[in-house]
Amino acid sequence: MTIDVIGILRRTDLLGSAPTEDLKAVAAASRLRNLRRGQVVFTTGDSGDTVIVVISGRVKVTVRSADGGELTLAIIGAGGLFGELGVADGGPRSGDAETLDECQLLFIPRETVQDVCARVPSVALALAGSIAAMLRRLTEATADLVFLDLPRRVAKMLLSQPRGEDGVIRQRMSQEEFAHQVGGTRQSVNAALRGFEKRGWIEVHDRAIRVKQPAALGRFAGTEMSAS
């Protein structure tokens, strides 16, 4: 199957405003890779020499403690990209990236993105905006870890996930994956979910979670996200 790399680049927030000729140059300089589930994309300290676009599948970006604890910073799905920070400062990777599914990824050299940014101000602004959004997200996550107990972090995470009209969270996650996102353990997340289920706020069945009372979860978490 032929991949429309230019079309994929045009749909990204970073490069969507770039002229076609620039997109062609980016596509020519980039490389596609197919990765298996559970394969490492990069680790902390690796050279931050590429921006990576997720064409299919999902990738998680994490940080790990010396004793093996893991905190998920972001999960990037199809159409998303990551690794922008290295374009700005040329520094090493500050986290680990691993595939959650079979993935097809597009690796764009740092120098290529910088070249487009130098010629197309809207792309440079998009890069700055992406880094600012990442900083805001990490600041909020840090505040949650400090100021919210784990059940409230679980409630907030549930409300942040895309849901269908029936209230079912579209992306199924194991309790271990959930725990890595909220900075807890599988057992503590399970206990929080059971507590919400007993209150009638959610329904859990075969890893599928249906949010039945988002307003109640929102009040419990102290957030205004209940209407999302």
Model pLDDT for residues 49-80, shown as the tens digit of each residue: 999 999 999 999 999 888 878 899 999 999 99
Q: Enter the tokens of residue 156.
A: 């907030």
Residue labelled with tokens 């309790």: 175
User: Taking 80 as the threshold, does the pLDDT of residue 228 lie above it?
Assistant: no
Same domain? For 115 and 189 the reply is no
More confident position, 113 or 176: 113
Q: 85 and 51 in contact (C-beta within 8 Å)?
A: no
SS (H, E, C) 40-81: EEECCCCECCEEEEEEECCEEEEEECCCCCEEEEEEECCCCE
Look at residue 1 in the predicted model and tell me its pLDDT.
54
Look at residue 224 in the predicted model and tell me its pLDDT.
52
pLDDT digits (tens, 9 = 90+) for 7-53: 999 999 999 999 999 999 999 999 999 999 999 999 999 999 999 99
Q: What's the domain count of the chain? A: 2
Same domain? For 18 and 90 the reply is yes
User: Taking 90 as the threshold, does the pLDDT of residue 176 lie above it?
Assistant: no
Residue labelled with tokens 């206990």: 191
Helices 121-147 & 110-119, crossing angle to 10 degrees? 120
User: Taking 80 as the threshold, does the pLDDT of residue 3 lie above it?
Assistant: yes
pLDDT digits (tens, 9 = 90+) for 125-175: 999 999 999 999 989 988 998 899 999 999 999 999 889 989 999 877 777
pTM of the model: 0.82
Same domain? For 141 and 154 the reply is no
Same domain? For 33 and 55 the reply is yes
Domain end (from 145, 171, 193): 145
Q: Residue 220: give the domain boundaries.
A: 148-227
Query: For residues 110 and 205, what is the distance between their CA atoms, to the nearest angstrom?
Result: 44
More confident position, 222 or 196: 196
Query: For residues 66 and 156, what is the distance between their CA atoms, to the nearest angstrom?
Result: 27
Domain end (from 118, 145, 172): 145
Same domain? For 39 and 126 the reply is yes
Look at residue 223 in the predicted model and tell me its pLDDT.
66
